[in-house]
Amino acid sequence: MNFTSPLKLALAHLTVLDVPPLQLVSLAAKTGYSSIGLRLYPAFPGSTFYELPPGSAVLREMQHKLQDEGMQVNDIEFIGIGEHFKPQQLAELLDTASALGARSLSVCGDDPNRARLTANFASLCDLAAPSGIRINLEYMAWRQVKNFDNALDVVLSAGRKNGGVLIDALHLFRTGGSPRDVHKAPPGVIHSVQLCDAVALPPANLEASINEGRSGRLPPGRGALPLQELLTELPSETIISLEVPTNAPVNQEQHARAVFESTQLLAASLKKG
């Protein structure tokens, strides 16, 4: 990547998930971010998410807020493609994403039938393509799409120009991946990365891995993951989203600012090197 100037960073909604969308725009602008992610779909049953229905007053207010603050929407999340998934069910969500100018929709693969999962991923890409929205597939150790190679296989098999692999730094390293993995993908397939740090010792079991992913991350540069190497290997146009959720009682603005500043210090150290 190019480190000659400060990085333009996206604030993942999961980092400050208790902050509703309208307030999130102002918080992100105040703390230095150039774009935000929005959790508009439940990642798992009972998880926090927000609704901005197409044509609603709150959606129009959100559009005005983004314009007033000079902010963009990086991604809408988080969709699980399971065995009963029907792409058309997301038509309204894609309408909202389009109205907000969102760059992408983030999904994960939860269907053990790889052929059906790939077909559904391709269909979702087709549904999103007229709005210029990318579909980025994220992998996790506890999903059916568990690692980088799994995700890349689905995306390449689907063969859609707006399909891509979303790299989360924690999942990359916790599933045995390497920064060099990015070179396995054809140009344009890796469009976005979620950045965080973590302790050196990996979780002891799958339950601990889930807990780490949802509440045990550290700001970039404050842990032991080889993030400098990852940043160096990423294509220069890669969008960097900061995803550092915590269950600790923190001031949300202070937390978002600390994550932002830590990442800029990490990038500055690469520039000096």
pLDDT in tens, 78-96: 999 999 999 999 999 999 9
User: pLDDT digit string (tens) for 198-213?
Assistant: 999 999 999 999 999 9
- Tell me the CB-side half-sphere exposure of residue 272, using CA atoms within 13 A: 6
Read off φ and ψ for residue 148, nearest 5 degrees.
-60, -45
Q: What percent of the chain has pLDDT over 90?
A: 91
Taking phi over 0 as left and psi of -120 to 50 as alpha, with beta for the rest, 190 belongs to: beta
Q: What is the pLDDT of residues 166-197, one digit of tens each?
A: 999 999 999 999 999 999 999 999 999 999 99
Residue-wise pLDDT for 127-141, tens only, equals: 999 999 999 999 999
Q: Looking at 144-226, list the stretches that DSSP marks H as alpha helix, in order from N- to C-terminal side.
A: 148-158, 169-174, 206-215
Q: What is the residue type of 110?
A: D
pLDDT computed for residue 164 by the predictor: 98
The answer as to whether 1 is a domain residue is: no
Asked if residue 162 is part of any domain, the answer here is yes
Range of the structural domain that residue 90 is part of = 9-272
Residue 31: which residues within 8 A CB-CB, separation 6 or more? 11, 253, 256, 257, 260
- In degrees and rounded to multiples of 5, residue 139 shows phi and psi of -115, 150
Q: Structure tokens of 51?
A: 């609704």
How many domains is the chain built from? 1
Helix axes 114-128, 91-99, angle to 10 degrees: 40
Contact 106, 145 (CB under 8 A): no
Asked if pLDDT for residue 273 goes beyond 70, the answer is: no
Q: What is the pLDDT of residue 218?
A: 97
For residue 37, being part of any structural domain is answered with: yes
Q: Cβ(14)–Cβ(254) under 8 Å? A: no
What's the pLDDT score for residue 248? 83
Any domain includes 2: no
CATH of the domain at 134: 3.20.20.150
Report the alpha-carbon angle 165-170-174, nearest 5. 100
Question: Rounded to two decimals, what is the model's pTM?
Answer: 0.96
Written as six digits, the tokens of 252 are 């949300």
Q: Check: CB of residue 53 under 8 Å from CB of residue 96.
A: yes
Q: Which two tokens stand for residue 46?
A: 């009972």
Domain membership of residue 173 (yes or no) is yes
* Cis peptide upstream of residue 78 (ω within 30 degrees of 0): yes
pLDDT, residue 93, reads 98
| Structure confidence at residue 253 (pLDDT) | 97
Over the stretch 26-38, which tens digit does the pLDDT of each residue have?
Answer: 999 999 999 999 9
pLDDT computed for residue 4 by the predictor: 61
